[in-house]
Each structure stands twice: as C-alpha cells, then as structure tokens.
Chain A
Amino acid sequence: MATIEARALGAAAPATPPRVRAGRLSAGFGPVTAIRDITLDIADRHITAIIGPSGCGKSTFLRALNRMHETVPRAWARGTVLLDEHDIYADDVDAVAVRRLVGMVFQRPTAFPTMSIRQNVAAGLRIAPREERQHEEEAVEHALRRAALWDEVKDRLDDSALALSGGQQQRLCIARALAIEPEILLLDEPTASLDPISTEKVEQLVHTLREQVAVVIVTHNMQQAARVSDTTAFFLSGELVEVAPTRTMFTHPADERTEAYITGRFG
C-alpha cells in the first residue's frame, strides 16, 4: 500500500499542486463497501482516467468526489477529499455547494427534456448565487464553443434539446457542466451509449479540455483511457491497485494484476 501511494504521488505529480486529493477515502452502501482507503491525487489541467472491471468501485469513487454518492439511500463515505486544500466532507461544507464547483457528465446523455438547448446550457448558471451570475448569453456561447457544439447548434438554440442526436446531447451535457466554470470535471463513462463517430468527437473534446480544467474520466474501455488520458489509475475490487502516467501504465505496468487486466486476461 505504502509503495503504491509513493509511486502514485511520484508518477502523477505535475508542476502545479493537485486540485483534488482523496485521502483514505472509503465509501459504500449499507453493509457493502464499494471502495476502500483510496488515496489519489488529481492534477490540474490534466486528464486522469480510472479503469477497472465492472463493480470495481470506479464510479463510486468518482461520485464521492462531488458528493453525488450520498444521494443514494444508505450510502456512506469516510476519509477526506480535498478540493483546493479544502475538505469537501468537512462539517461546514454543503454538498450542494460542492456540486456547483464540480461538473459531472453521465453515461447516458441527460439533456433536460423540457428545456431548449439554450436553457439546458444555462440550467446551472440560473441557480448560481447572484454575485457569481454571469452574463447568460455570453456564457452559453462560450460553453458551447468549448464543448465544440456551437457551430452545430448556434442557429437553433431555442429548439428542444431532444432534437439533437445522442452524441450532440452528450456534448450538450458537457457544455452544461462547463458553463458553471467547474474547478474539475468528472466524466462517468461518457461515451458508453454513443456510436463510434460520436465517441470520437467526445474523446477529442475531452482531450482539449485538459488545457482548461482537471478532468477525471471513468471508462471501461482501456483504449479510450490510453487515447485521452495523461494519468491512469487502475481499480480492482474497491481498491486502487496502481496509478501511473498513462504511457507507463500501458507499456510497463508495475502490478501483475494491472498487467493481467490490460492484456485482457480478466475483466
């Protein structure tokens, strides 16, 4: 354990201090423990991929980073998650406030069906505290540009979001998450329900986002992790097995379990 942590910190440490530090984070549901004692740093302007077989706890870990985990009945979490040195699980911190600083995108597109494209992007802006509220029109355009969707939708911003294709809806969700200027962006298997062409577009988009925010992407697709991420963490049975720069991870994994997984021997 100790050596893994040391290696993890050493390998992933970029020039700037980490945006998010999970410290001995455990979480689960009722009697079930989904993740155990995870210690992992998420670097700024950097893409961290989390891979592992289904049920390894990678989604639970992700959802624990913005306190979405606790919205499920009987969920619990222990340990610390520091967002810019501030523990989001501290007593004086509000889960809703945490989620306003962290963007999240899910497996399936979750465009709000009763809202137009514009309203979807602005959905998070409209509830921001007054002093943080930005000029909406500008912010919507900016978010859509960052999500590489602007050119496709600029002439029909007031159409229903459901008029978009699945891939476009997913980029709309990314735009919605970016519009609130998140400190980090969490992507939970964002291409799981998309066709190959949409997947490629979203992957390219994710890659560009590394210039802007810290990104954590959970994926069951190793090729995807290899393509888009800078650092990769491998989870197995609720534990962090190994974390390393992506290239190292996929060429010289340190742990034999990692090697077994990435060469397709299980999972």
Chain B
Amino acid sequence: MVDPLPHTGLAGRAAEVATARPRPRRRVVRLQGHRAADRAYSVLTTAAAAAVPLLLLVIAVVVTMGAWPALRQFGLGFLTSSDWDPVRNVYGVAPAIYGTLVTSFLALLIATPLAVGAAVFLTEYSPEWLRRPAAFLIDLLAAIPSVIFGLWAIFVLVPILREHVMPFLRDTLGLGATPFFSGPAYGPSLLAASLILAVMILPYISAVSREVLAAVPRSQREAALALGATQWEMIRSAVIPFARSGILGGVILGLGRALGETMAVTMVIGNRQEISASLFAPGYTLASAIANQFSEATGDLQLSALMAAGFVLFVVTLIVNAGARWLVWRTGRLAR
C-alpha cells in the first residue's frame, strides 16, 4: 500500500495566489457565430476537394465536345487514316499515334534500365555521403522546363546525332541495312525525340523506383543475406521481386509523361505527317501535332480534328496514369 507523500513548498504559495482573484461562475450557453463559421469552413474545404473530380470531368466534357465534330465525321477511321489535308478537309492521326508510340516506347527502353540501375545504386551500393547529392541531381532533372530540353536538343543533341551518331549507326555499324536506321540523316527525327524523352522521364522512373526499393522491409534483405547470398543475389532474389510491381508502376508513370510530353518533342521531331519505319525520319506525335498546328488551324473541322487528337491523348494518358497509380499504391500497401 502507498501512503500519500507530504506536500510542501509550492502549495502555500499557489494558494495565496488563488485567493487573490474572485471568480464569477459561468454557465454553458449556446454560442453564436462559430457554427455558421464551422459550416462555412466545411463547405469551402469540401468544395475545394470536389473541384478536383469536377475539374477532371469538365476537362473530359469540354475536350470531348470540341472533338465531337471530327469524331463524328471520321469515326474510327480518324485513328487509322494518314491523311491530314486542310484543303480537302480530311483528317487522320495514324502517323501521330505511330510517332507517339514509337518515341514513348523507345524512350522507356532507354530510360528504364538507367533509371532502375541508378535507383539500385543509390539505395543499395552508394556510399552514404553520395546518396543525397546524387539523388538530388537526378531529381533536379525533373525540374528543368521542357522548353529548355528542347532548346538544348535543337542546338546540341540534334547536330551530334546528324554529324556523328546517325552516320555511325547507319554506315559504320552497317545498321542501314535494316529499315530502322536507314535513310538520310536530317537530324530532327523520331530518334532525337525518343532520346530527349528518355532524359525527361528518367527522373520520374528513378524517383518511384528509389521509393519502392527503400520500402522493401529490412527483414526481407536480412533473410536473404542470412542464407549466404551475396549483395547482388540479395538484391535479385529479395529486393527486386518485392519492388517489381512498384517499379513497373514508375515505368508506366514515365510512359504517361512520355506520351503527353509536348514542347521538347515538337522542337526536335521534325513534324511531318508520315509513317516511316526509320528512326532517322521525322514524324509527329499527338501532342506535337496539336502544338504545331493549333494556332495556324483555319477551318472548324481542322480545329476539331486537333481537339480530337487531344481527346485521344487524354483518354490514353488517363488510363495509363490510373494504372500506374494503382500499381504504385499496391506496392505501398504490400510494404506496410
């Protein structure tokens, strides 16, 4: 059993203070004012939150409405036709879809190994002191405006491709025999667009990969190491499988960026309405077609056709992004 302790010191002093101040008794009452303020606060924040889905809905409706005349006129043929003739008023976006897919997938092909490799290096191999600065530099790549990449590509990347890389691939390596690396080396090309896209999506894939790799529980790593695995075997057998779907999510997120990237691509792709197997040939993407033609478009139907290109882009990126987010979220849940 415990006995109360004796109390000294503070008690007397505080008691003195207490008596100094008579205290009127108050009653609980209904307050005025704050209920209305609370309701206003609640309404305002809810409205702000609701603005997000509403905005997406309005974008969908407005873009669809703008695209409607062209979609009605050309139907599914809009996606498969290569005609783009303001004189005859016939429009199709097959070359733009082709260019979008080719540049995006080539960009992914180049960026993914580099981004994932860099993420593995930063989370698994890097010395502690290098980790933050190196991650910072890669992240910084995402902060560079698209137009600056375009500028750099026009004046640095494209000349190098034209003078050195393209002749080297075509003639020195003899890849000109394949349809993919044949034809004259103009410079502005699907290849140039793919390379600049690869640079631009790299930080996104790398950031997500780093995040999911870091989320792999310590216990998974230790279990592998305890079995006698080398560091690489631990990464291959315990870390990568755990992070795989998250990394895939990051890659798809990068795909979403690549599909819709506009300025840098517009500046180096050459903007020509044709489907060519050669990566040396100029081409179009959905986004670059819009950027390049919209302000010069004359007829209503041409504008509508460009809106329809935007509509296709909207739908595709919506699906791609939703899928990517879902994959990343799922990994996050698994790790918890």
Chain A positions within 8 Å of B, measured between CB atoms, are 83-84, 86, 88, 92-94, 96-98, 101, 129, 132, 142, 145-146, 148, 181, 183, 204-205, 207-209, 211-212, 222-223, 226-228, 246-247, 250-251, 262
- A contact residues around B21 at 8 Å (CB): 142
The answer for the CA separation of A250 and B2 in the assembled complex, in Å, is 7
Interface residues of B in 1-52 (CB under 8 A from A): 1-5, 7, 9-11, 13-15, 17-21, 23, 25-31, 34-35
Contact of A183 among B7, B17, B25, B34 (CB under 8 A): B25
- A contact residues around B23 at 8 Å (CB): 181
Contact (A93, B30) CB under 8 Å given A146-B17, A204-B11, A208-B10? yes
Contact between A97 and B2, CB atoms less than 8 A apart: no
The answer for the CA separation of A145 and B34 in the assembled complex, in Å, is 31
Contact (A83, B4) CB under 8 Å given A208-B11, A208-B15? no
B interface majority secondary structure: loop
Beyond known contacts A94-B29, A228-B4: 16 more, CB 8 A cutoff: A93-B28, A94-B28, A96-B31, A97-B28, A97-B29, A101-B28, A129-B31, A145-B17, A204-B9, A207-B10, A211-B14, A222-B2, A226-B2, A227-B2, A227-B5, A250-B1
Contact between A146 and B18, CB atoms less than 8 A apart: yes
- B contact residues around A97 at 8 Å (CB): 28-31
- A contact residues around B1 at 8 Å (CB): 250-251, 262
Interface size on B, residues (CB 8 A): 27
Contact between A211 and B18, CB atoms less than 8 A apart: yes
Contact between B14 and A208, CB atoms less than 8 A apart: yes
The answer for the CA separation of A93 and B28 in the assembled complex, in Å, is 7
Contact of A96 among B3, B7, B9, B34 (CB under 8 A): B34
Contact between A101 and B26, CB atoms less than 8 A apart: yes
- B contact residues around A208 at 8 Å (CB): 7, 10-11, 13-15
Contact between B28 and A88, CB atoms less than 8 A apart: yes
Which 3 residue pairs across A and B have the least CB separation, nearest first? A208-B14, A226-B2, A212-B18
Contact (A84, B2) CB under 8 Å given A148-B10, A208-B10? no
Contact between A211 and B15, CB atoms less than 8 A apart: yes
- A contact residues around B15 at 8 Å (CB): 208, 211
Pairs across A and B, CB under 8 Å, 10 listed: A142-B20, A148-B13, A181-B23, A205-B14, A211-B11, A222-B2, A223-B2, A226-B4, A227-B5, A262-B1
The answer for the CA separation of A88 and B34 in the assembled complex, in Å, is 18
The answer for the CA separation of A93 and B27 in the assembled complex, in Å, is 10
- A contact residues around B34 at 8 Å (CB): 94, 96
CB distance from A170 to the nearest CB of B (A): 15
Contact between B29 and A146, CB atoms less than 8 A apart: no
Contact (A148, B26) CB under 8 Å given A246-B4, A250-B1? no
The answer for the CA separation of A98 and B18 in the assembled complex, in Å, is 23
Contact of A207 among B7, B26, B29 (CB under 8 A): B7
The answer for the CA separation of A97 and B14 in the assembled complex, in Å, is 28
Contact (A204, B28) CB under 8 Å given A181-B23, A226-B2, A227-B5? no
- A contact residues around B2 at 8 Å (CB): 222-223, 226-227, 250
The answer for the CA separation of A83 and B25 in the assembled complex, in Å, is 11
Name B2's closest neighbour in chain A (CB-CB).
A226
CB distance from B300 to the nearest CB of A (A): 53
Name A253's closest neighbour in chain B (CB-CB).
B1
CB distance from B250 to the nearest CB of A (A): 34
Contact between B5 and A94, CB atoms less than 8 A apart: no
Of the listed residues A88, A92, A227, the one surrounded by the most CB atoms of chain B closer than 10 A to its CB is A227
The answer for the CA separation of A185 and B332 in the assembled complex, in Å, is 43
CB distance from A242 to the nearest CB of B (A): 15
Name A246's closest neighbour in chain B (CB-CB).
B4
The answer for the CA separation of A247 and B9 in the assembled complex, in Å, is 22
Name B12's closest neighbour in chain A (CB-CB).
A208
Binary contact readout B305-333 vs A (1 if CB under 8 angstroms, 0 otherwise): 00000000000000000000000000000
The answer for the CA separation of A262 and B2 in the assembled complex, in Å, is 9
Contact between A84 and B14, CB atoms less than 8 A apart: no
Contact between A92 and B30, CB atoms less than 8 A apart: yes
- B contact residues around A83 at 8 Å (CB): 28
The answer for the CA separation of A31 and B21 in the assembled complex, in Å, is 46
Name B14's closest neighbour in chain A (CB-CB).
A208
- B contact residues around A222 at 8 Å (CB): 2
The answer for the CA separation of A250 and B4 in the assembled complex, in Å, is 10
- B contact residues around A211 at 8 Å (CB): 11, 14-15, 18-19
The answer for the CA separation of A98 and B21 in the assembled complex, in Å, is 22
Contact of B14 among A93, A94, A129, A148 (CB under 8 A): A148
- B contact residues around A223 at 8 Å (CB): 2
